[in-house]
Amino acid sequence: MTQNATDLVLEVNNIEVVYNKVVQALRGLSLAVPRGEIVALLGSNGAGKSTTLKAISNLLPLEDGLLASGHIRFAGQDTARLAPQQLVRLGVSHVMEGRHVFEDLTVEENLVASTYALSGRTNAAKPDFDLVYEYFPRLFERRKGLAGYLSGGEQQMLAIGRALIAQPTLMLLDEPSLGISPKLTEDIFAIIARINAERATSMLLVEQNATVALAVAHRGYIMEGGKIVIDGTAERLASDADVREFYLGMGGGGEARSFKQLKHYKRRKRWLS
């Protein structure tokens, strides 16, 4: 690794994850998030992207998953023995796939619930509700309403807003674009980029929508079958021929082709990384 270890907020080293004691989801995955950067983690369905995030935030046991081997270090500290809530309090906030807002609670109460993330912090952090409402004015308008009645996009905003309350050092974002219109996706990603720039929050961003993800990310990893197959800066990935073909849908000159000509999903094996 070329980078100085102290610059890395998150180091994931050769981890393996097994579900239900039999299904192996991750096979020796390694990645790193440098401080202050957005790192995109891309890959097709079932590649293990969400599993990676759950392994980092220690939410695996809820789904009968187990970190079978490897190490995860957040800010230099091994996280294996930390309960999920302890990890959140240390500064790792996980915005889960499918938003997971508290539907029976109001928007405001959702944010209040997140203030538990601040307990036990040494620097006596106060919850900053205004900050959330500044990034997401829509949430302010609907703060008294039940979160279950928000639109999908608004729920995603609330999920990110909840994480913001926790004032995280590292934000894990799992598919913020899931089920959201392209226009709203654009807005949300613009805000993600703003949060990263203005608050120096490091981010690990899981996405299926590689185009929007690589547009905001500094660097990226591409996963396949439970491990990393390609990594590099966002510009390099966006111009890589394979990535363009398989993840950005821009292969072979870009003109429309008929399904007859579509070549089989075949790929060079990559043994590097």
Partner 1 sequence: MDMDWGYLFEVSLTSVMGGGLYALAGLAFVMVYKATRVVNLAIGEMLMAGSYLFFTFAAMWALPLWLAIPAAVLASGVLGAVIERTMIRPLLGEPPISAFMVTIGLGSVLVGLVEMIWSADQRRLPDFLPTQAITVGDAFLAPKIFWGAVIASVFITAVLLVFRYWRGGVALRATASDQAAAYAVGINVPRVFSLSWVVSAMLAAVSGIIVGSIGGISSSMGVFGLTVLVVVIVGGLDSVLGALVAGLLVGLVEGLAGAYLGGEYKLLATFIVLVFILMVRPYGLFGTREIERL
Residues that bind partner 1 (CB under 8 A): 57, 59, 61-62, 64, 83-85, 88-89, 93-96, 100-105, 109-110, 112-119, 146, 148-149, 151-152, 162-163, 165-166
Q: What minimum distance in Å lies between the beta carbon of 52 and partner 1?
A: 15
Q: What minimum distance in Å lies between the beta carbon of 264 and partner 1?
A: 38
Nearer to partner 1, 14 or 181 (CB): 181
Nearer to partner 1, 119 or 233 (CB): 119
Q: What minimum distance in Å lies between the beta carbon of 135 and partner 1?
A: 17
Nearer to partner 1, 42 or 88 (CB): 88
Q: What minimum distance in Å lies between the beta carbon of 128 and partner 1?
A: 15
Q: Are 210 and 250 in contact (CB under 8 A)?
A: no
Task: Please work out, in degrees rounded to the nearest 5, the angle formed at the alpha carbon of residue 54 by the alpha carbons of 236 and 173.
Answer: 50
Q: What minimum distance in Å lies between the beta carbon of 110 and partner 1?
A: 8
Nearer to partner 1, 169 or 231 (CB): 169
Nearer to partner 1, 178 or 250 (CB): 178
Q: What minimum distance in Å lies between the beta carbon of 167 and partner 1?
A: 11
Nearer to partner 1, 204 or 228 (CB): 204
Q: What minimum distance in Å lies between the beta carbon of 246 and partner 1?
A: 31
* DSSP per residue, the chain: --S-GGGEEEEEEEEEEEETTTEEEEEEEEEEEETT-EEEEEE-TTSSHHHHHHHHHT-GGGGTEEEEEEEEEETTEE-TT--HHHHHHHTEEEE-TT----TTSBHHHHHHHHGGGGTT-TT-----HHHHHHH-HHHHHTTTSBGGGS-HHHHHHHHHHHHHHT--SEEEEE-TTTT--HHHHHHHHHHHHHHHHHH--EEEEEES-HHHHHHH-SEEEEEETTEEEEEEEHHHHHH-HHHHHHTSS--TTS----TTTPPPS--------
Q: What minimum distance in Å lies between the beta carbon of 148 and partner 1?
A: 3
Structure token pair of residue 104: 């029976």
Whole-number Å distance between alpha carbons of 96 and 176: 9
Nearer to partner 1, 104 or 130 (CB): 104
Taking alpha carbons only, the member of 36, 5, 13 closest to residue 203 is 36
Structure token pair of residue 261: 């000509």
Nearer to partner 1, 86 or 239 (CB): 86
